[in-house]
Amino acid sequence: MRAQALLAQQLESHLDQALQENEFVVYYQPKVSMKDGSIIGSEALIRWNHPDKGFLMPGVFIPIFEKNGMVKKVDLWLFEEVCKTMRTWSEKGYPLFPVSCNFSRLHFQQSDFTARICEIADRWNVPHHLLELEITESVLLEESTTIAEVFQILKEMQFKIAIDDFGSGYSSLGQLQQLTADVLKLDRSFVSHGVAGMREKIVVGNVIHMAGELGMQVICEGVETQAQSITLQEIGCKYSQGFYFYRPMQLENYEKLLVADN
């Protein structure tokens, strides 16, 4: 516990300097059509190239910053970096697909959150429909009323909304209907354990079908084998994000894919 507390203190005290000196790095994990492997978008994922502690994955520092509220700075930095990059892609003539960025539940308690998101996107002249704001399923239970209001504003601004890790908690498709999400990302547990038997396939297939009927694009997370991809396609899922297709990659490697895929 003392080691964890010391690490938290060290990372917290260094955050502002890290943001100023560009120690954070954005990786991109493609989302694909399982039918042919073509790219339909990506998720932006943050990494920390710490000068003393080396290459840190988000699981090390995001929970710490979530507790003290600093995660809001990190989320907004990531969103702006994505907008900068998409502006560059547009200027280079690269094909543009939606990019999703994760946002902490803490943002939805800020009255100026939607205005800040809009200002950043517009400053870099990025069409709002190419930007997905991704939140985890658990947030739906904690902040459902507030989030529904914020979602409505973001939808009116033409931003896309994605629900991450669906199926890991206790939310329902009824909540999703009220929140009018655009993208539903099925938790990896559905893939790793949820398509083994006939009963499991029926459950997952019905979730996919119902989400589609509600107008949501369904993406299965954690697809790691060809067999999983085939089974998911058989029960109605068209899109995936998983190691079988692509791992998270550095910007230059993702750009090569964008050019090669089109």
d(CA 97, CA 40): 6
Contacts for 177 with CB less than 8 Å, ≥ 6 apart? 214
Residue 35 makes CB contacts below 8 A (sequence gap 6+) with 233, 238
The reported pLDDT for the residue numbered 112 is 93
Q: What is the pLDDT along the chain (262 residues), one digit of tens a residue?
A: 788 888 888 899 999 999 999 999 999 999 999 999 999 999 999 999 999 999 999 999 999 999 989 999 999 999 999 999 999 999 999 999 999 999 998 998 888 999 999 999 999 999 999 999 998 877 766 666 678 888 889 999 999 999 888 876 655 666 666 667 899 998 888 777 656 678 778 888 888 888 888 889 999 999 999 988 998 999 899 999 999 999 999 999 999 999 886 6
Into which CATH architecture does domain 2-260 fall?
Alpha-Beta Barrel (3.20)
With H, G, I as helix, E, B as strand and everything else as coil, classify residue 139.
helix
Judge contact between 163 and 137, C-beta under 8 A. Answer: yes
- Do the Cβ atoms of 246 and 29 come closer than 8 Å? yes
CB 205: neighbour CB atoms within 10 A? 16
pLDDT of residue 177: 66
Q: Which pLDDT does position 251 carry in this prediction?
A: 97
Q: How far apart are CA 235 and CA 210, in angstroms?
A: 12
Give the model's pLDDT for residue 203: 80
> What pLDDT is attached to residue 202?
83
- Buried b / exposed e across 34-57, counting CB within 10 Å, b at 16+? beeeebbbbbbbbbbebeeeeebe
Query: Which residue has tokens 């509600």?
Result: 214
Which pTM value belongs to this model?
Answer: 0.92
Cα(63)–Cα(69) distance, rounded to whole angstroms?
10
Find tokens 């909540």 and name the residue.
175
What is the distance between the terminal CA atoms of the chain, rounded to a whole angstrom? 50
The encoded tokens of residue 127 equal: 């069409």
Nearest to 150 by CA among 101, 110, 99, 102: 110
DSSP per-residue string spanning 79-129: HHHHHHHHHHHHHHT-----EEEE--GGGGG-TTHHHHHHHHHHHTT--GG
Q: Which amino acid is at 120?
A: I
| Residue 161: per-residue pLDDT | 92
Longest dimension (CA), the chain: 53
